[in-house]
A and B are shown apart, each in its own frame.
Chain A
Amino acid sequence: MKYRILEIRRYPSAVAGLVIIALLLGISIYTIITIPYSEAIRIWRGGEEEVQDVPKNAQPVWVNFFRKTKLTETIILNTLEDADNANGQVTKVVTTGASGKSVIDITFAFEYLYDTFPQALTLHMTPIYQSGTPFVTATWVTPDNREIPLKDLKIQAPETYRISQDTRLRKNLENQPPEQGLFADPFLETPAPLKGRYELRLHVTVFEEGADLDAKFVMHGQVYGLAGTDHKRRDLTVALLWGTPIALSFGLLAALGTTLTTMVIAALGVWFGGWLDGLIQRVTEVNMILPFLPLLIMVGTLYSRSIWIMLGASILLSVFGAGIKGYRAIFLQVKESAYIEAARSYGASNTRIVFTYLIPRIIPVLIPALVNVIPTFVFLEATLAVLGLGDPVIPTWGKIIDDARSNGALFQGQYYWVLEPSSILMLTGLAFAMVGFALDRIFNPKLRGI
């Protein structure tokens, strides 16, 4: 047995499959440890705070490797966090004046080396004061040292200034959207960004001692993260990562549940024969014409969309599958062998014969079947999700595909949104199928010559 499994090394495709499966297992373990289940759900269903710094429908960062025209990355600069992060610098200088009045100069400086315009520009400000409201004058400085006044603001409470939605600024910029007008090279006919160092200067006047103001500048780019984002500004990385353990466990549990039960049923039918065997045969025939997917759909719409209920239902519906006939044929042969007769003659009980003598004989057939059926169930989960019957809470690959499809990703050229989950699905399916294929040949010598 062990020797046979080692034989798999002779099949390069199966080795590749095993490597992929190992990788997927690694990803699953990593995901479960780093992003706990409840955390994943919180992020995935998160509200405004969770996603406000994330651009909408942004492509993954790595697309820039393959592009000549570089897409804008997302830049977040915060006076509270880092003075000097990878994207730019934040400086905050406080000049104390007379009678508690002081001036705070905040500068967000960043290099803009992209060929597209950003999605949006936002400035979040949080004041600290007793009675005198801080006053902010925001100015935009371009690489060619033009100074564009943005807006004067009185900050009474934490406030968000959406630069991209400022209609007055838009008028001043010759009716270009601010996120375009602020970056555009003034000497070009077709708008294209001027590359170089940009600055957003905030000149803050506070009127009492201890008053302060912190600000965060967010530039929503066209790319974000390793996997991009969806229409709800959610980072797809979370869903792709969490989809892995879900898909693997769904596939494995369903495959195990189905094949093992099928095997036991076939063995019992053959051993006891008579009406039991007949009943099992008839049930198998009925099951063959039972519309599997429509029934699952009914369960999903009428009772529960929980992935575990669906798992149970699909196991129940596939137990009496076509596999039973194949196993039955093998068991019928095994039943006549001499060692079974020997067992019977020394008075072994029925359960002993079935479980210790009959069933082990079928394991060589069972293992390839088990591995081969895993992709079917992995794809089944995706199928259900695409039908809108995915688990309402857990992020899965199928649900990403469903979101992408129903939001017209294919029409709008957001291919990453469809391609990422589907390539991982394909890879997973293929990995198991390739291993199963090799196992089939190893355990069934009849196939080996062919």
Chain B
Amino acid sequence: MADSTIPVHVKAEVSVRVNPVLSSISRVIKFMGIKAVVLFFTVVVGVYLTILVANMGGYVDQIQRGQIQEQIATQVLNDPSFKLLAADVRAQRIADITRMAEHRAGLDQPFMVRSVRFLTNALSLNLGRALYMNSDGGSRQVRRIILERLPSTLVLFATENFLNFFLSIFFALALSRKYASFWDRVIITLSPTSSAPGWFYGLFLILIFAAQFGILPYGGMVAAPPPDTPINYFLSLCQHLVLPVFALLLSTIFGNVYAWRTFFLIYSSEDYVDMAKAKGLSSRDIERRYILRPTLPVIITNFALALITVWQGAIVLETIFNWPGLGRLTFQAIGLFDTPVIVGSTVIYAYLLAITVFLLEFIYTLVDPRVKIGSEGRRV
């Protein structure tokens, strides 16, 4: 395109392209590898802190002790040979068995030793058994219960984040073109509304669209008897997705558009943009190559931070919309005081956040020229 008017430069670029591709790939892999290791250690520390908080009052121990005692009590009750023993001998036996079982479970070890074991268990998603809750398949395994709920959460958040990212970029670009126009002012005025969480708008949306007009469902993921054909299932899912996604969008999009539009405006006042204009490039090209491109790393960092907040707001949003995901699971676990499930979902959230950060870091390396070219300029 425009570059072809200066053939000398093109030649120079082509001649060095063969090697740099390989080296930039290896640099990206190296960069991502370091990031992955750092993030893994971050997760370890995060999960360990979670365990410390959970066990500050010895609750995890108590739960285990309770389980062991219950198990032994039923075992003794069902064993006829115990009935013949004298009361004190029987009590002695029960105490012995309990102590052995506790030793086997490692409850007599010092906390530091045990916490390391908890940590390895949590990291390998060996989250123990729930006290009261079951998975739909009937399993008591916390891991099963959580993994069963995970897809619904992912569907909701993937949809929302996808829409959010592209709509925000689209509107932000459009507004930065028409700086200080009527719509620009509207968005600036609306941007403080992003301080309210998604569930809050969810309440209003349910009130308007479900309660008042009855055009969209109150909540849930699919209609009450699940539709039998995949197409109907998908349509029902989409219908149920509208309100929660809309609620999340409302709570984030104005703030995002405002922030990103500001980034675009800052970058479009750079000298090289004026230079490009002077060269007579089309405004589309200028926007794509000279404004959008250099702004992307900043936007992605900004988006990552917003995403983390949204993940956490999930818990209440899913509760409000009866969305059968991880958030509602946490909510139900609070109601039932099912500590293993609460601790388990906290661990899963830590993982999810880390994975989100990692993915965004990956995209970041793809769009940030500094990583690919391998300059010394490191991000703060």
- By a beta-carbon cutoff of 8 Å, the part of chain A in contact with chain B is 13, 285-286, 288-295, 297-303, 322, 325, 328-329, 372, 375-376, 379, 382-383, 386-389, 401, 405, 410-411, 413, 415, 418-419, 422, 425-426, 429-430, 432-434, 436-437, 447, 450
A residues near B38, Cβ cutoff 8 Å:
285
What is the minimal beta-carbon distance from A326 to any residue of chain B, in angstroms? Answer: 10
Q: Which 8 A-B pairs have the closest CB atoms?
A: A433-B192, A291-B349, A375-B195, A294-B346, A293-B312, A289-B353, A433-B195, A286-B45
Provide the residues of chain B in CB contact with A303, threshold 8 Å.
56-57
Name the contact of A379 in the complex, choosing from B192, B195, B210 (C-beta under 8 A): B195
Asked if B197 and A294 sit within 8 Å, CB to CB, the answer is no
**Minimum C-beta distance from B355 to chain A (A):** 9
Please give, as numbers and ranges, the residues of chain A lying within 8 Å of B43 by CB-CB distance. Answer: 289
| Interfacial residues of chain B within 105-133, with CB under 8 A of chain A in the complex | none
Other-chain residue from B57, B266, B345, B357 in contact with A302 (beta carbon distance below 8 A):
B57
- Whether the Cβ atoms of A376 and B56 lie closer than 8 Å is no
Closest-by-CB residue of B relative to A374 is B195
Q: List 14 A-B contacts (CB under 8 A).
A: A285-B38, A286-B42, A289-B350, A290-B50, A291-B353, A295-B50, A303-B57, A322-B305, A328-B380, A387-B319, A410-B207, A411-B211, A429-B192, A437-B191
10 further interface pairs, Cβ-Cβ under 8 Å (given A288-B353, A293-B313, A382-B200): A291-B50, A294-B342, A376-B195, A387-B316, A388-B335, A410-B210, A411-B211, A429-B192, A430-B192, A437-B192
User: Taking the nearest CB of chain A, how far is it from the CB of B131, in angstroms?
Assistant: 12
Q: In whole Å, how far is B157's beta carbon from the nearest beta carbon of chain A? A: 14
- Asked if B211 contacts A410 (CB within 8 A), the reply is yes
Across-interface contacts of B100 in A (CB, < 8 A): none
**Chain B residues, CB < 8 A from A389:** 334
Q: Which residues of A contact B337 (CB under 8 A)?
A: 301
Q: How far is the CA of A322 from the CA of B303 in the complex (A)?
A: 13
Say which residue of A294, A302, A386, A437 sits within 8 Å of B319 (CB atoms). A386
Q: A410 contacts B206, CB within 8 Å?
A: yes
Contacts A386-B319, A410-B218 given; indicate if A295 touches B262 (C-beta within 8 A).
no
Say yes or no for B339: interface residue by CB 8 A criterion: yes
- Cβ of B159 under 8 Å from chain A: no
Residues of A within 8 A of B275 (CB): none
Interface residues as binary, B189-233 with A (CB distance below 8 Å gives 1, 0 otherwise)? 101111111011001101100110000001000000000000000
Question: Which residue of A has the minimal Cβ distance to B204?
Answer: A422
B335 neighbours in A (Cβ, 8 Å)? 388
B residues sitting closer than 8 Å to A (CB atoms) are 38-39, 42-43, 45-46, 49-50, 53-54, 56-57, 59, 179, 189, 191-197, 199-200, 203-204, 206-207, 210-211, 218, 262, 265-266, 305, 308, 311-313, 315-316, 319-320, 330-331, 334-335, 337, 339, 342-343, 345-346, 349-350, 353-354, 357, 380
- Bound together, the chains give a CA A375 to CA B193 distance in angstroms of 10
- Among A290, A300, A405, which residue has its beta carbon within 8 angstroms of that of B320? A405
Q: How far is the CA of A386 from the CA of B320 in the complex (A)?
A: 9
Interface contact B312-A286, CB-CB below 8 Å: no
What are the residues of chain A within 8 A of B46 when measuring CB–CB? 286, 289-290
Taking the nearest CB of chain B, how far is it from the CB of A186, in angstroms? Answer: 36
Q: How far is the CB of B250 from chain A (nearest CB, A)?
A: 12
Q: Are B357 and A298 in contact (CB under 8 A)?
A: no
Q: CA of A290 to CA of B207 in the docked complex: distance in angstroms? A: 33
Among B199, B207, B311, B315, the residue within 8 A (CB) of A418 is B207
Tell me the smallest distance from the CB of A323 to a CB of chain B, in Å. 11
A411 interface neighbour in B56, B191, B218, Cβ under 8 Å: B218
Closest residue of B by beta carbon distance from A421: B203
Among residues of A, the one whose C-beta sits closest to the C-beta of B43 is A289
Closest approach, in angstroms, between the C-beta of B264 and any C-beta of chain A? 10
- Cβ of B342 and Cβ of A426 under 8 Å apart? no
With A297-B315, A429-B196, A430-B193 known as contacts, the answer to whether A290 contacts B49 (CB < 8 A) is yes
Known A288-B308, A295-B50; contact A450-B262, beta-carbon cutoff 8 A: yes
Q: Which residue of B lies closest to A410 (CB)?
A: B211
For residue A433, which residue of chain B has the nearest CB?
B192
Is A286 a contact partner of B49 (Cβ separation < 8 A)? Answer: yes
The CA-CA distance from A432 to B193 in the complex, in Å, is: 11
Contact B192 A289 (CB under 8 A): no
Measured between beta carbons, the chain B residues less than 8 angstroms from A422 are 200, 203-204
**B206 and A302 contact, CB distance less than 8 A:** no
Q: Are A329 and B380 in contact (CB under 8 A)?
A: yes
How far apart are the CA atoms of A434 and B43 in the complex, in Å?
Answer: 36
Partner of B330, one of A294, A413, A419, A426: A294
Residues of B within 8 A of A383 (CB): 197, 199, 313, 316
**Nearest chain A residue, comparing its CB with the CB of B39:** A289
* A386 pairs with B199, CB closer than 8 A: yes
8 Å CB contact of B312 from A291, A410, A430, A432: A291
Query: In the assembled complex, which residues on chain B have CB atoms less than 8 Å from the CB atom of A299?
Result: 53
Q: Which of A286, A302, A411, A425 contacts B54 (CB 8 A)?
A: A302
User: Could you say which of B199, B210, B342 contacts A301, with CB atoms under 8 Å apart?
Assistant: B342
Q: Are the C-beta atoms of B346 and A387 separated by less than 8 Å?
A: no
Contact B315 A293 (CB under 8 A): yes
A434–B320 Cα distance when bound, in Å, is: 27
Q: Which residues of A contact B57 (CB under 8 A)?
A: 302-303
Smallest CB separation, A250 vs chain B (Å): 15
Closest to B59 in A: A302
Asked if A285 and B316 make an inter-chain contact with CB atoms under 8 angstroms apart, the answer reads no
Q: Closest A-chain residue to B335, C-beta based? A: A388
Residues on the A chain within 8 Å of B357, using CB? 288-289
B193 to chain A, nearest CB (A): 7
Residue among B197, B206, B331 facing the most chain A CB atoms (10 A cut-off): B197
The answer to whether B334 and A301 touch across the interface, beta carbons within 8 angstroms, is yes
A422→B54 CA distance, assembly (Å): 32
Assess whether B50 is in contact with A387, with CB atoms less than 8 Å apart: no
With the chains together, A388 CA to B337 CA distance in Å? 12
Partner of B189, one of A13, A290, A388, A425: A13
Q: Which residues of A contact B54 (CB under 8 A)?
A: 298, 302
Residues on A with beta carbons closer than 8 Å to the beta carbon of B199: 383, 386
Query: Contacts of A410 on B, CB cut-off 8 Å?
Result: 203, 206-207, 210-211, 218
Q: Does A294 contact B315, Cβ atoms closer than 8 Å? A: yes
A301 to chain B, nearest CB (A): 5
Please give the distance in Å from A437's CB to the nearest CB on chain B. Answer: 6
What is the chain B residue whose CB lies nearest that of A447?
B262
Bound Cα distance A300, B316 (Å): 15
Cβ of B331 and Cβ of A387 under 8 Å apart?
Answer: yes
* Chain A residues, CB < 8 A from B339: 301-302
- Residues of B within 8 Å of A425, CB to CB, are 196, 200
CB nearest neighbor in B for A423: B204
Contact among A302, A387, A401, A437 with B315 in the assembled complex (CB-CB below 8 Å) = A387
The answer to whether A291 touches B203 (Cβ under 8 A) is no
> In whole angstroms, what is the CA distance A413 to B210 when docked?
11
> A290 to B42, alpha carbons, bound, how many Å?
9
Closest to A290 in B: B46
Report whether B207 and A298 are in contact in the complex, using a CB–CB cutoff of 8 Å.
no
Q: What chain B residues lie within 8 Å of A437 (beta carbons)? A: 191-192
Bound CA span A153–B354, Å:
73
In the complex, which residue of chain B has the Cβ closest to the Cβ of A386?
Answer: B316
Min CB distance A55 to B, Å, is: 22
CB distance from B375 to the nearest CB of A (A): 19
Q: With a CB–CB cut-off of 8 A, which chain A residues contact B49? A: 286, 290
